[in-house]
Amino acid sequence: MSGTWAFEGRDAALAAFDRSADGTELAEPVREGGPRTEVMRSTEDPVVAELSFGFEDVRIELRLHARERVRTVSGTVHGDFAYALLEARRPDGHREDVVSIEETGDFVIPDLRRGPLCLTLRRDDAPPITTEWFIL
Amino acid sequence: MGAGLPDQSHEDSETVLSTGPRHETPGSLATTGRGADDAELVRRALLGEYPAWRDIVDRHLPMVNAIARSYRLSTPDREDVVQTVWLTLNQHLPRLREPRHLKAWLSRVTRDKCLRQRERDARQYPTDPEAFAHIGGAAPDPETEYLRKERDATLRRAVDGLRDPDERRAALRYLEPESVPRAEDPRVASNHRRRMVRRLRDSLEDV
């Protein structure tokens, strides 16, 4: 296999190496598909994908919204916790945003740019859980 | 992830933890892992050996790129997919059950991510609204659609109010032909339908 494109993306691939999170619990994808629900309000950005991640009794359901170049992640965290934060991270380690989870488990992370993203759920009395990387 | 800056003091060391991107060409690689099999490279990468990770990337990146290109994604999407494949491998490195099957794992993950991205693109492909102007008349306006749903809900409530299971089935067959299997005897079905329509009319008059 050869070609000038064969090693495209090499810098990004090399930069992915990071062993600092090996001890973190990983929430793996359970489902991904198109939007199952109708958009009821025109003010809401269209949902382009729904996916969910699971680890033991915790399930993180995400809806990915897109409007032009702006992305929004909304969703619900199901699990047993009193208080939790959700942290959005980029491949370069940049922490894009931190939002608190409402009592209902709902959350919204607005105004994101496209590209790979992962979420880390930090609960009050349990180790953090990180989702597998997904493309926004 | 991968946030740590390259540690200059370890530049010549075999073991570099949490390193950032290196701007070198594959031709200038150290040959530390050239002969090692994938399982050995995975084992060493798990110990934090950056050169082992670099050798994994250089061994399999052309395959990952070739698969990604075969899906004919846009360039930004393809770049996102390829980067996400390596981020995902980094996450799964401690969890790989068969490190010697790394190539197959990468192939499967790349195809899966390309497929998902292509499906998602299909749902968000930008479209000029003017392109649909000529078919606009055929689409129901929101008010008509709302009234249709309200009528359907009322009918469904009326059907739920039917006590006879046969009549309920016949009503459902009338309203949603696909949801109920056909009756064996067409005459029985016809009688049920007549009775059901009469009762539905009565129910709707009461609503």
Mean pLDDT of the region B176-183: 62
Does some domain include residue A120?
yes
Buried-exposed string A78-106: b where 16+ CB fall within 10 A, e elsewhere: ebebeebebbbbbbebeebeebebeeebe
Residues, chain A, total?
Answer: 136
Where chain A has pLDDT below 70, the residues are 1-3, 36-43
Task: Point out the least confidently predicted range of B19-28, B114-123, B130-139.
Answer: B19-28
Does some domain include residue A74?
yes
> What is the band of B188 on the pLDDT scale with cuts at 50, 70, 90?
low
Q: Is the pLDDT higher at B64 or at B12? A: B64
Query: What pLDDT is recorded for position A112?
Result: 95
CA dist., res. B14 & res. B103, Å (int): 24
CA distance B86 to chain A (A): 5
Tokens of B61: 């990146």
- Chain B neighbors of A1, CB-CB under 8 A: 62-63, 66
- The mean pLDDT of chain B is 76
Beta bridge partners of A55: A58
Does some domain include residue A8?
no
Would the CB atoms of A20 and B17 count as touching at under 8 Å? yes
Residues B39-93 have pLDDT tens digits of 999 999 999 999 999 999 999 999 999 999 999 999 999 999 999 999 999 999 9
Query: What pLDDT is recorded for position B179?
Result: 63
Neighbours of B52 (CB within 10 A): 23
Per-residue pLDDT at B174 exceeds 60 = yes
> What is the band of B20 on the pLDDT scale with cuts at 50, 70, 90?
very low
B contact residues 117-146, partner A, Cβ 8 Å cutoff: 117, 119-120, 123-124
Residue span of the structural domain in which A41 resides: 21-135
DSSP H stretches of helix in A1-136: 10-15
> What is the band of B201 on the pLDDT scale with cuts at 50, 70, 90?
confident
Q: Is the pLDDT higher at B29 or at A38? A: A38
Per-residue pLDDT at B29 exceeds 80 = no
Does some domain include residue A10?
no
Does some domain include residue A13?
no
Check if B66 contacts A (Cβ < 8 Å): yes
A contact residues 107-136, partner B, Cβ 8 Å cutoff: 114-116, 118, 130, 132-135
Report the number of distinct structural domains present in chain A.
1
Per-residue pLDDT at B30 exceeds 70 = no
Check if B147 contacts A (Cβ < 8 Å): no
CA distance B173 to chain A (A): 25
Q: Is the pLDDT higher at B8 or at B92? A: B92
HEC states along chain B? CCCCCCCHHHCCCCCCCCCCCCCCCHHHCCCCCCCCCHHHHHHHHHCCCHHHHHHHHHHHHHHHHHHHHHCCCCHHHHHHHHHHHHHHHHHHHHHCCCHHHHHHHHHHHHHHHHHHHHHHHHHHCCCCHHHHHHHHHHCCCHHHHHHHHHHHHHHHHHHHCCCCHHHHHHHHHHHCCCCCCCCCCHHHHHHHHHHHHHHHHHHHHHC
Residues A5-21 have pLDDT tens digits of 999 999 999 999 999 98
> What is the band of B124 on the pLDDT scale with cuts at 50, 70, 90?
low
Chosen for mutation from B91, B96, B148 (greatest number of chain A CBs closer than 10 Å) is B91
Does some domain include residue A3?
no
Does some domain include residue A15?
no
CA dist., res. A82 & res. A101, Å (int): 10
CATH number for position A91: 2.60.40
- Chain B neighbors of A133, CB-CB under 8 A: 84, 87-88, 91
Chosen for mutation from A14, A51, A62, A87 (greatest number of chain B CBs closer than 10 Å) is A14
